[in-house]
Structure 1
Amino acid sequence: MILAGFILLAVGAADLVRQFAPRRWIGYVAAAAFIVLLGIGGDALLPAILGLAVGVLWIWSMPDEGPSRAGFWPAVALAAVSVGAVLWLGARPAAGLVGELWHLRSPFGVVEFDLAVLALGAGVFLLESSNLVVRAALDGEHTWRPADPAPAVPEAAAPASADPAPLLADTTPAETATAAPRVDPRNGFKGGRLIGPLERVLVMLLTLAAAYPVLAAMLAAKGIVRFPEISRDGETGARAEYFLVGSLVSWVIGLGAAFLVWWAAHS
């Protein structure tokens, strides 16, 4: 499981540096040094280096601006590698110098060093990297597209009257609604970069704590809060599709992180 922890930690740290560090190269060096030192202290230098390599590939394939070069597939590959590392590699019998000094107790029992690294990596990944995954999923679904530009009206065809009232009177409501430009529903979700990470972390924590009624209430409350906005979507359904796709992908990521940590803790 230590490999999955370093992979998720490297990817999550790289995206946090890209988003918040004023000088990225300093942030990358600091994050890489921390991961390498953690790997040396935990007698897991090779998993740490492999995690950094995956982080480099992630930065190349999932840009923080613009569409992803490989679409949604880097996220699928990352999920497969992380799940495989937890299911087949399991826990190590010893964790080096840090593992010998590591003693962490929780309400769920003793937390081993490898499990702590996995939980840390999963939590860091949920902060910013998951936003890129959700964005890639939304871009792949094409939940919104701009309306086709209206054809230009020749000047000769324009009426001589300067009063626009006759033109408006002859236009039916359906034609007026059709001619109106569509608005990108993503313009109404400016708080997604903060709401999404908080939501996924809460989903992970509530799932691990087996607080399923609270989890269901939280997810239902989000739908209730968004209902007035979605109900004004009209006939296109673009806003409803955007909300459903984004929310479902976000919840799956949070539940997947909880599953990894739960499986590692009980293996």
Structure 2
Amino acid sequence: MLHQRRELATRGDLKRIQKAGVRHEGKKVVTDDVKKLKSLSVDPGIPDLDRIHYYIEPVRIEYYVPKDSRFVVETRYLFIPLIDPEPSERYPILNSYMEREKFFDIIEVVGEHSRYTTMILEAYHETFTMLENISRAVKDGRFNQESYRKAFYLTETMMKFEPTVASLEVLGDYISYNINWLIRRMNSLEMEFAASDDTIAYLIKRRNVRWEEKGLPEDERFEILAALFYDQAFPNRGLEFEEEDYFFDIFEKKSKY
């Protein structure tokens, strides 16, 4: 089921992430603990062929070297696995696109599924031009790969308008699937691109929800770098923790997300 998106990175994000995830080798990590931060590998050693299924975010590690009286900045790479929506009998159209590994083109859906045309047009009447531009950019990407970057940034913008009645009732979580599809396509083409901080936070959330649902083992390296990402991306959001904050249900073992 598609859920209402709440505001990303509310004021309790950092404290919740620090409380739940900032651990390495079984011990709590303080961001100025140089030895522990430096011990993190530059990347997690994912095989090259599998890297297309990850969004890769560089994370800065900065520390002070007293004997040289200077700061040193190093980079570690946060690999965020792309989590696609689970197939659902409720959303056969989305299932079909996922099975074919095809971009979910709403303009195409309108033409092929006329019984849903009215619902879709009403749901996206304010953003339909954007959907047309996304459709065109994905098609143009076959001849000019730079168009995929345009499609990606427009799709990020469309995320702000989801969910709609059409996506809840008929289309499913196509927007998450399309974001993942475009990341994989640009990865496979070895293109340089950068997702917005909100999109990265959303990808991290989807990863953590899946890990919790499946009971997968904790990844300390991931959790440390995710915490550092939030510290750098949202430095002024505050440290107060409240249960209603957006990331509360990511790490809480009793979450019912």
Query: TM-score, structure 2 length as denominator?
Result: 0.30
Is the radius of gyration larger for structure 1 or structure 2?
1
Name whichever structure is richer in strand by fraction: 2
Query: TM-score, structure 1 length as denominator?
Result: 0.29
Greater RCO, 1 or 2 (C-alpha within 8 Å, sep 6+):
2
Name whichever structure is richer in helix by fraction: 1
